[in-house]
Structure 1
Amino acid sequence: MPQPFPQQRRLRLVALVLVLLGLGWAGSGAVVTWRLTRRARPVFPEPAPTLARGAIEAHRLVTADGLGVGAWLVRGEPGTPCVLMLHGNGGSRTSLRSLLELLAGQGHCVLALSLRTHGDSEGEVNDLGWSARQDVLAGIAFLEREVPDRPRIVFGTSLGAAAAIFASREVGSRVQGYVLESPYRDLRTAVSNRLESYLLPGLDRLAFHSMWLFGDALLPVPAEQLRPLDHVVGIPQEVPVLFLAGAKDRHARLFEVEDLAGRISSHARLEVFREGHHGTLRDSEPERYQRHLLEFVRSSVRR
């Protein structure tokens, strides 16, 4: 009959197990955080597609911090507004092609960017839109040089919307409007939302605290600074903002977008898509989505 472990040996074994579990918990958090803040896939080519209306020019912009950013430009008809298009996390300007075709088909000028760490653009650290504000500024400066004296609208979805918000104070009144689709309110809530969507109750909290430990070490700015809610007030009062949100969005929840719109309620409007999930607002109500977008862009000519 086997002899029981002496009490001291049993306590050492329990302590060893707890240490290993703690190291595994912390290590997994570090690995996941590192992975989520790095480029998701290698650089890949993004050749300019052929449009039914309007020619696409391929350009390479250089940001203030020295990164090369891929871009497509459709000059559109004289006098039409120019829309700077910014994609979501994990996308690129290629993923914006259908919207680009919609706007170009109406004769509008469009500049579509692949934000840093995405598509054929340079960069390795994805800090959820903070550094990509430099890409937004480069895009606006490019439009000012290439198509001056045209109204400029910034359209951003998810990550692109956050980058536009982070850039807004430096942009000032150089644009005549923003369309912001499903922006996250703050990084803490955004991470929590995603973990809650993918993990069982309880495990999401453990994973969150593990990842949050390493956020500041792996990001170029403190994680608590990544709060579009604090930066959206940088949009001047004379610049209108159209927020688009999905009632079923589990990544940028409706109350988050409502909070953002509420901070600038004097010049913001919120349109809610009742069946919209993250990244599917247009698919949920195509005609309504397109109507709001096109009407907002056209109205910039009259401002």
Structure 2
Amino acid sequence: MRMVLLRGLPAVILIVLLLIALAWVFQRRVIYFPDRFTPPLPPSARAVVLHTVDGLELAAWSVPPPPDVTDRRTAVLVAHGNGGSRSGRMPLATALAGRGLTVLLLDYRGYGGNPGSPTEQGLAHDADAARSYLIGEAGFAADRLIYFGESLGTAVATGLAVRHPPAGLLLRSPFTDLAAAGSVRYPFLPLRALLRDRFPVAERVTQVKAPTIVVYGSADSIVPPSQSRAVADAAANLTQAIVVPNAGHNDRTFLDGPELLAAVESLAAAVGCS
């Protein structure tokens, strides 16, 4: 029996090595899930073009306050998660615009009809381009910008906050780093050794001096609540950590629910954007 097991060992090793090789080659296909089609422009949004340092032109939407709402001259830069496109974040943008905030819905390279393919460095360039648009063409002061990151976008927003400090930072359902988040779904893979894109949120949030709010659901099965709590604990200037009871990762409450909108309002007030 022992000899039979030993004879089968090389085949098992070969299968494991093959799985690891496939994970290395195709890893970004299981990290990024873009909606590649160009979404129709909503009546309340304005189409804008962002210019990245590596030569891409990215479509994005700016959603200003409606005419009957006082413009607070404060912008919220929204970095969405790893799936969909800017169109899926319109409920959030509409709700925040109704509170006097201008919202820029960033779509990454490869998302929403944009050219290119997503990578960690590429998404950093995209976020830089979004900020440059806001303080340049849109005319917002740097101290009137709030960064809003959701899920994977929390890594994008946190990295941007380290490079270019905002007035405030809101992280919705953050993970500590991509390997930790991925291990929930792929516990059998050596992700820390394999991943090319790492997105170290907990490490970088220690360098963010701006007021920071972390919001997450207690029933999140994609990003464990313990990871979001760890990010909150690591934040250098945590204003609030808000746990939404019984909320899952993709629940509607994380688009325009009362807890999330109150968190943005609280952050805006904390940075003098009332």
- Please state how far the C-alpha of 1:148 moved relative to its aligned partner: 2.7
Q: Hey, what does 1:271 align to over in structure 2? A: 242
Do the aligned residues in 2 keep the contact of 1:61 with 1:138 (CA within 8 Å)?
A: yes
SS in 2 for 1:301: coil
Q: Hey, what does 1:155 align to over in structure 2? A: 148
SS in 1 for 2:147: strand
Pairing partner for 2:184 from 193, 198, 220 = 193
Q: Distance in 2 between matches of 1:59 and 1:285?
A: 23
Aligned length: 267
Relative distance call for 1:302 and 1:28 in structure 2 (3 A) is closer
Q: 1:1-303 counterparts in 2 under 5 A?
A: 14=8, 17-18=11-12, 20-30=14-24, 32-37=26-31, 40-41=33-34, 43-51=36-44, 56-76=45-65, 77-127=70-120, 130-145=121-136, 146-149=138-141, 151-172=144-165, 175-195=166-186, 204-205=187-188, 208-209=189-190, 214-215=194-195, 219=196, 223=198, 226-236=199-209, 239-280=210-251, 282=253, 286-302=257-273
Relative distance call for 1:100 and 1:17 in structure 2 (3 A) is same
- Please state how far the C-alpha of 1:157 moved relative to its aligned partner: 0.5
SS in 2 for 1:268: strand
Relative distance call for 1:108 and 1:14 in structure 2 (3 A) is closer
Structure 1: gaps (5+ residues): 1-7, 196-203
Q: Distance in 2 between matches of 1:17 and 1:101?
A: 56
- Please state how far the C-alpha of 1:42 moved relative to its aligned partner: 6.6
- Please state how far the C-alpha of 1:71 moved relative to its aligned partner: 0.8
Q: Distance in 1 between matches of 2:7 and 2:203?
A: 48
Q: Hey, what does 1:3 align to over in structure 2? A: none
Q: Distance in 1 between matches of 2:35 and 2:172?
A: 26
Q: Between Structure 1 and Structure 2, whose CA radius of gyration is higher? A: 1
- Please state how far the C-alpha of 1:123 moved relative to its aligned partner: 2.2
Task: Give the TM-score normalised by structure 2.
Answer: 0.84
Relative distance call for 1:65 and 1:24 in structure 2 (3 A) is same
Q: Distance in 2 between matches of 1:123 and 1:133?
A: 13
- Please state how far the C-alpha of 1:261 moved relative to its aligned partner: 1.6
Relative distance call for 1:46 and 1:231 in structure 2 (3 A) is same
Relative distance call for 1:81 and 1:284 in structure 2 (3 A) is closer
Amino acid corresponding to residue 162 of structure 1 in structure 2? A
Question: Percent identical across equivalent pairs?
Answer: 24
Do the aligned residues in 1 keep the contact of 2:72 with 2:100 (CA within 8 Å)?
A: no
Do the aligned residues in 2 keep the contact of 1:185 with 1:252 (CA within 8 Å)?
A: no
- Please state how far the C-alpha of 1:251 moved relative to its aligned partner: 2.4
Q: Distance in 1 between matches of 2:28 and 2:263?
A: 38
SS in 2 for 1:296: helix
- Please state how far the C-alpha of 1:285 moved relative to its aligned partner: 9.3
SS in 1 for 2:271: helix
CA RMSD across the alignment: 2.9
Q: Distance in 1 between matches of 2:82 and 2:22?
A: 22
- Please state how far the C-alpha of 1:246 moved relative to its aligned partner: 1.2
Relative distance call for 1:24 and 1:266 in structure 2 (3 A) is closer
- Please state how far the C-alpha of 1:23 moved relative to its aligned partner: 4.8
Task: Give the TM-score normalised by structure 1.
Answer: 0.76
Superimposed CA distance per residue, residues 55-84 of structure 1 (whole angstroms, 9 cap, x where no aligned partner) = x21011011222222211134354431111
Superimposed CA distance per residue, residues 231-285 of structure 1 (whole angstroms, 9 cap, x where no aligned partner) = 112212xx21111011111222222122222223544321011211112272699
Q: Distance in 1 between matches of 2:97 and 2:158?
A: 25
Structure with the higher fraction of residues in helix conformation: 1
Do the aligned residues in 2 keep the contact of 1:246 with 1:281 (CA within 8 Å)?
A: no
Q: Hey, what does 1:4 align to over in structure 2? A: none
Q: Hey, what does 1:199 align to over in structure 2? A: none
